[in-house]
Structure 1
């Protein structure tokens, strides 16, 4: 029944989205067919067919006649602003309850196409990644390894990091490994003990060298999964905001400039250290909702994200915010 609430453009097929993107880069940015083929990892013949299809169906007339055209313009601008390799912008649904689904639809084709047998996928947690699992088409990758990037809940939940890793592994017939630890330890000392455990060291060690990471971010509003699940108390949320935090990545709370704030939760979080993310070959951030614009921007300023999947309204907010270099943050390792 939910499908009736979604515009066809919001859940356009991956083939239609690719055709429109090809048309936009060809007619608007004057890219050659070979440049477009190289960008998307396809043949010139495929590019030529896509352009012909766009003309025949009326998508290309005097301009690109699709709601996705504005999304593709934003993709181009965000790539240049933040030095990203690739951005996918999906239309923002009128009903914010569907934001997780459209983001899942946006990232699903990429997950399916990029994963190959024998590679290692590291994942975060949350509603966006849960939906990404549901939207992704599986294939046989028996030697795929899926790793959790942070601790989890002590009970079963579809949003839990262990369940996200397990679901991705099941989708491709691979194996998964998770951190047998909570998101936040009860004390700094207990966190250090947990991080010293052999099994935790093994998972985090493999995660540092993963081929791809799928992560999302959380804000500090009542919509936050951390707050909703009680992992972050109302008092914690208040003191985090007072410390300058705008949201979290893998349980690490950052300020608007992408720096970790001085707060007890950051000293008790059990997850991959953010600087270690730089060693992962491909980091894909999937997140949206205008209320997350500040934390998305903060993470992008860290320069370890390679690819971004975001909704149109949030992308517009990021475009409207100037990018200033923070001398305290390292540039991405290429």
Structure 2
């Protein structure tokens, strides 16, 4: 960096980082080409004229996110600070997911969404926080689980729901329902949506599937005996993310895991020590493109090892 060029470097860096001028504006002000402005800014960083200092907690968060992306082959990861209580964690996760959707989904876009308490919270936050319309397509049966508590008319949310229960009494009934034209139409919509948002459940005593009466304690205990660590879209999986072959699996009106893996921009939203094994299983199986979680869960995931 010569003495003659230093003033140009200093001015370019100041106007760009402190005054928020565009590179084109700086080019016109300094009487140089835009390509030279880019070079001046690069030299400002290389020579220490401009320095970036991250707060310690922000630097740690970025490292954790990068670790998740590299470890599990993700396109992106969003790690929030861990709140003090589990109820705060659920709401913070839902807010983060709603923000992610609003930032990354095109106007009037189509969002696939899965079953679960966190997903219901996300819908509520989207109903009050997103400007513009949104098309929501359900990935499972169970109409009542997809109805936001807040009126969807606030911003024109359009719901395309699978007209069937989440779990039915027999495999034959499930197969017959899947042949219904109204259900097939919704399934076809899920294949073309811009983004898919799914929760991940753990196989614990307060699991959503128990609280909502989807499964009994005996049924969940049997699944755990067969190696289940949790579920995604109500498909229970083992530590490697492989579906558990049970009669429950054959009675679920839900998008298959193979179809989920083939979808674009699949975002998983989950956190908590009781869900670490389930989240890890879903990640190693490659069902997700993006993970939204909290700091403590992220660190546990990076330390997690699964026996072959």
TM-score (norm 1): 0.72
Mean Cα deviation higher: 272-281 or 78-87: 272-281
**1:103 corresponds to 2:93:** yes
Q: CA deviation at 1:283?
A: 0.6
Q: CA deviation at 1:258?
A: 0.4
Q: Equivalent of 1:222, from 205, 218, 228?
A: 205
Q: Paired residue for 1:194?
A: 177
What are the within-5 Å matches in structure 2 for residues 53-92 of structure 1?
64-92=54-82
Alpha-carbon separation, structure 2, partners of 1:313 and 1:221: 18
Q: Paired residue for 1:207?
A: 190
Alpha-carbon separation, structure 1, partners of 2:212 and 2:121: 18
Alpha-carbon separation, structure 2, partners of 1:168 and 1:206: 23
Q: Paired residue for 1:279?
A: 262
Alpha-carbon separation, structure 2, partners of 1:323 and 1:83: 17
Alpha-carbon separation, structure 1, partners of 2:218 and 2:99: 40
* Secondary structure, counterpart of 2:229 in structure 1: strand
Q: Paired residue for 2:105?
A: 115
CA contact (8 A) 1:287 1:309 kept: yes
CA contact (8 A) 1:227 1:234 kept: yes
Q: How many residues align?
A: 260
**1:246 corresponds to 2:209:** no
Q: Paired residue for 1:178?
A: 161
Rate the CA distance shift 1:147–1:169 in 2: closer, same or farther, 3 A: farther
Q: Paired residue for 1:138?
A: 130
Alpha-carbon separation, structure 1, partners of 2:195 and 2:155: 15
CA contact (8 A) 2:231 2:237 kept: yes
Alpha-carbon separation, structure 2, partners of 1:301 and 1:167: 36
Q: Paired residue for 1:232?
A: 215
* Secondary structure, counterpart of 1:67 in structure 2: helix
**Larger C-alpha radius of gyration, 1 or 2?**
2
CA contact (8 A) 2:108 2:132 kept: no
Alpha-carbon separation, structure 2, partners of 1:282 and 1:295: 20
Q: Paired residue for 1:263?
A: 246
Q: CA deviation at 1:103?
A: 0.8
- List 4+ stretches of structure 1 deviating above 6 A: none
Structure 1, gaps ≥5 residues long: 1-43, 49-59, 327-334
Alpha-carbon separation, structure 1, partners of 2:215 and 2:181: 27
Alpha-carbon separation, structure 2, partners of 1:288 and 1:124: 16
Q: Paired residue for 2:116?
A: 126
**1:150 corresponds to 2:140:** yes
Question: Which digits, 9 at most, give the CA deviation of each residue in 1:19-43, with x for residues without a partner?
Answer: xxxxxxxxxxxxxxxxxxxxxxxxx
Rate the CA distance shift 1:222–1:68 in 2: closer, same or farther, 3 A: farther
Question: Which digits, 9 at most, give the CA deviation of each residue in 1:237-293, with x for residues without a partner?
Answer: 111011111111111110000000111111111011111113322111011111101
Rate the CA distance shift 1:109–1:168 in 2: closer, same or farther, 3 A: farther
Alpha-carbon separation, structure 1, partners of 2:95 and 2:59: 17
TM-score (norm 2): 0.77
Q: CA deviation at 1:118?
A: 4.2
Question: Which digits, 9 at most, give the CA deviation of each residue in 1:116-144, with x for residues without a partner?
Answer: 23432110132222222344421123xx4
